[in-house]
Structure 1
């Protein structure tokens, strides 16, 4: 049997191949992934990418594992050959940094590995389908109740925000039984953002990372703890996860208390959240934030708790706290 007999309309299928990644690009990406198919190399790249100094000494990288110096040098050489790293010898030691133009690619690559580190058992698929079928009426009722309560806003706007909030959360939500209270909290936050006047009131900071499951949640909690009401912090994710990283939830219990930590959940990034903020801090999410006139932007290269050891998580917390204190100094003077 010929191909034409199997696919009589061969010409109709041809354009699909045009959307595939090019052969050269595929070879480059495959080479990078092959180079990272080693736990120590992945940790080295993560350490270099998030080092506050913008570079890491080989002497620091050697402490990531109990291996010989030649082994460390071999792994770094493999990473260099992908084009992701540059090196410079200064006296006795060699220093490594992410190559110019590769920072966003490396950040995206590392963030892509984070979900695998905290994978949970998925909710029963059929149970989820059944729950979602019953959800529409509950969302409609919630929208009507909030519209009755918030009389200062146009009723259609409130209803639309509630439905949009539900739609944004349900894409990544793990536990559908909590969907209505989560939708209400997210909708109330969005409506507050929609009506906030940045020229008055206490300063507001928005922390944005990819999943809103780790560093952005931690940074917001630290701000709210240290600022004591003088600055308000919120967080969001460009591609929110289904739940917080376990390491981070434990830290939030220490910082905010058990109830607040239990109520924390990943939220999608919205234009209204950016527009309401005085400062937007991006944390490894690239250029996903819309640029709003009058909003101050900062980018913090901090480690991802999902990929860190317990000692690494503690170091990330202290790094973020140091940055937060410096930020608060500029907002509360």
Structure 2
């Protein structure tokens, strides 16, 4: 067979493609904003303001981030304010800073998606994954076993959920030898969500963040510890990481003991949202489908992947306080006292 290779001659006319770059004005404005953010201290201040439970911070709060004077903090805040990222409001003798409403989505994307990705590129989060083996026969066998056990659901539904669960986990798999048991646990959880009756079951809470490697895992563990089985907590991620963050893993071990080793990042599914009485988003934006009858909350909680060891403990304490308030709305007083 003769191969035919077409080579464009040097004097051939160049035909422009239908590219649509952003305009010069927009590019100039974006470049100015990125230049203002190209400072580690400003990024830390932006993160502190975005995750402050009050929704705003003052100069004295931000000066504690590092050893600088309040005038220096004020200078950096002025730079961020001039870009439109921050807005300010005077209350008495203090000026309070918050994220501008029009910039909240951009700040969330920067802090919760781009920053962890940058850390990963630096080699601080995950190692290259092993090549994925062909596990089709084992997945089919697993699906048949679960279908035989859960005959009320139907074989086709079970097989679909098992295969979808496997496919979802392989996108971020790091240790492939655990794929089958992880798939089984994830599929069984999804099947339980698929058949749950929200009218008769115990209250269920779903925590959703981007990577499902930090705050959402921690929040679910704290709920399960405090509620004593009177509330079920699950977690998921809009873009799951390969593994739970090491700082969070140590805290999970303190809370759950050996059971913490069973936690792994899971992708968000419609089944999990439909099964929940409350969905708590934690920096993942508007990724959750809106299901009638489900209550939604958004918690501005810091990302443990970007925090020091002390910072992670502070995030845990913040989550615990929020969980207590949440449980007050879900459990009768008698159950709260017993747990």
Q: Same fold (TM over 0.5)?
A: yes
Task: Give aligned pairs, total.
Answer: 321
For 2:168, the equivalent position in structure 1 comes to 168
Richer in helix (by share): 1
Q: 1:6 to 1:46 in 2, by over 3 A?
A: farther
2:133 and 2:176 in contact (8 A); partners too: no
The separation in 2 between residues aligned to 1:289 and 1:179, in whole angstroms, is 26
**More deviation in 267-276 or 89-98?**
89-98
1:281 and 1:299 in contact (8 A); partners too: yes
SS at match of 1:158: helix
Q: Report deviation, 1:99.
A: 0.7
The separation in 1 between residues aligned to 2:44 and 2:207, in whole angstroms, is 24
CA RMSD of aligned residues (A): 1.9
Q: Is 1:237 equivalent to 2:227 in the alignment? A: no
1:123 and 1:175 in contact (8 A); partners too: no
Q: 1:135 to 1:27 in 2, by over 3 A?
A: farther
The separation in 2 between residues aligned to 1:133 and 1:156, in whole angstroms, is 24
Q: TM-score, normalised by structure 2?
A: 0.89
The separation in 1 between residues aligned to 2:328 and 2:92, in whole angstroms, is 37
Alignment of 1:119-198 (within 5 A): 119-123=124-128, 128-129=130-131, 132-198=132-198
The separation in 2 between residues aligned to 1:163 and 1:316, in whole angstroms, is 35
Q: 1:177 to 1:26 in 2, by over 3 A?
A: farther
SS at match of 1:64: coil
List 4+ stretches of structure 1 deviating above 6 A: none
Q: 1:8 to 1:203 in 2, by over 3 A?
A: farther
Alignment of 1:252-263 (within 5 A): 252-257=252-257, 259-263=258-262
Q: Is 1:36 equivalent to 2:41 in the alignment? A: no
The separation in 2 between residues aligned to 1:110 and 1:7, in whole angstroms, is 48
Unaligned runs of 5+ in 1: none
2:126 and 2:242 in contact (8 A); partners too: no
Q: Is 1:14 equivalent to 2:17 in the alignment? A: yes
The separation in 2 between residues aligned to 1:30 and 1:281, in whole angstroms, is 34
Q: Is 1:292 equivalent to 2:297 in the alignment? A: no
Q: TM-score, normalised by structure 1?
A: 0.91
SS at match of 1:102: helix
Unaligned runs of 5+ in 2: 1-7, 333-339
For 2:82, the equivalent position in structure 1 comes to 81
